[in-house]
A and B are shown apart, each in its own frame.
Chain A
């Protein structure tokens, strides 16, 4: 097995439980992400998704284990890993444009002012914002627009890995739909590696190449890696017609509704690697879910 672009190796996170002991959030979690892949992680609250995200971002440190990206160990935050947070990732005293330019200027310190400006504007336009909102403060923008600015900022610095922490969690369903489309459009034009947290199964299927499923915490682990066997480009309306859509969706619902609880708890394994699950109704040979060991 070759080493993937991003390799999470035997990551554990423990916190003191307040009674002298320790609570293990997740243990020996190992998984990999390939370059250019869009990976979504799904799991119930408390399974440590956000902790994993923060460790990947370098904002938190794991109790045990390492993360290796592009041959180097991740330690501390870096411009190589862009983050879109659910809320508050824009600085409220700066305009939408300045929220992007400061990031671009930090990423490309030797660019001229004009270069920074045109690069920032290009990315704001890419996510569907028009020039008349560039100079508004975040408080004067709708929730959807704010998250577009965040996404524009994240793409404008072309990080090696883009981390999305429930980016659409605070948005209403209709806005979420349109921004998902914008995200897919922007992402399609790049070779951007993305790791995203969500609670929304349909969102996960629409966006992901692969979905990682986590069991419930404590002692959570990444139990399955479900390949999304629906060809791109996808869009929200056509995707539901695809024969694989409901098969995959049912599998995910079953896992989150039932298996995530049944599989919960500590294991004896030294390393918890997810099982790869490939569901493809279009290939006649593989009618039933086929499990492959990685």
Chain B
């Protein structure tokens, strides 16, 4: 046991925790009594009817198997496969997110390079940043008149701030010695930006991007509950209306898994741009 690697021991512990947790959950759900075991009184008070309870993990796993074995079926507006729903959500998140990156990174660069721009824009950023993205929703719906685009706008507005602030911070904090290296080698403004400032600020910028994608994924679920139609957020809400708690729990887990995957992608990007001095 003692010569086992830390990773191996951690994996074993995780597995034990998972199994233990599932067993506890399974045991904690009271089973439905069969009709034959009911007393006269219970039968009269409707005790024999199906009770909506939290489903045990075995049912959730069954549901997961069923859904994941055919994730892309489409049987009408209220019955689509989980893959299609997640696909819609990811599409909205990425659309809003990349629009935000397209604006936040160049603007952050400008703010980081110019103390005047920083001071001029800072009050706006400070006021707009703490606004809950969902607070924009009514205004977005009114102006845009399209729920789909409004959801993308909400993602855009929530993911722009961490990227903007981190880019500005990273660019402003580039070591002066490195800028001097660029200057003494007569690199032009564009080459200095791409050869020195961008790589120097990249770890901070990617950290901002990673925070943004996390927030965007949190927000899309809430936004889709509001706008409805498609998406994983709508799916959760729809299954809640159906009182299908098995599907609710399954989709909650799927939200977690997709969020983890999005974060891991940026983790890889981060490892790629990081450098040590």
Q: Which residues of A contact B (CB under 8 A)?
A: 57-59, 76-79, 81-83, 85, 87-93, 102-103, 106-107, 137-139, 157
Contact = CB atoms under 8 A, between A and B. Distances in A.
Given A57-B184, A59-B183, A93-B199, A88 B275 contact: no
A81 B183 CA distance: 11
B43 interface: no
Q: Is the interface of A mostly helix, strand, loop or mixed?
A: loop
Interface string B151-192: 000000000000000000000000101101101111100000
Given A87-B177, A88-B175, A93 B184 contact: no
A235 B142 CA distance: 82
B196 interface: yes
Contact of A82 (B184, B273, B276, B277): B184
B195 interface: yes
Q: Is the interface of B mostly helix, strand, loop or mixed?
A: helix
B12 to A, nearest CB: 35
B113 interface: no
Nearest to A82: B184
Interface residues of B, number: 19
Contacts of B180: 57, 59, 77, 83, 85
Contact of B199 (A87, A91, A106): A91
List 9 tightest A-B contacts by C-beta distance, closest first. A88-B177, A93-B275, A139-B276, A77-B183, A77-B184, A93-B199, A106-B185, A92-B275, A83-B184
Given A58-B184, A85-B181, 18 more contacts: A59-B184, A76-B183, A77-B180, A77-B183, A77-B186, A78-B184, A78-B186, A79-B185, A79-B186, A83-B184, A87-B177, A91-B178, A91-B181, A93-B200, A93-B275, A102-B185, A103-B185, A137-B276
B203 to A, nearest CB: 9
A93 B181 CA distance: 14
A137 B277 CA distance: 9
Contacts of B277: 88, 92, 138-139
A137 B273 CA distance: 13
Contacts of B275: 92-93, 137, 139
A106 B191 CA distance: 10
Contacts of A77: 180, 183-184, 186
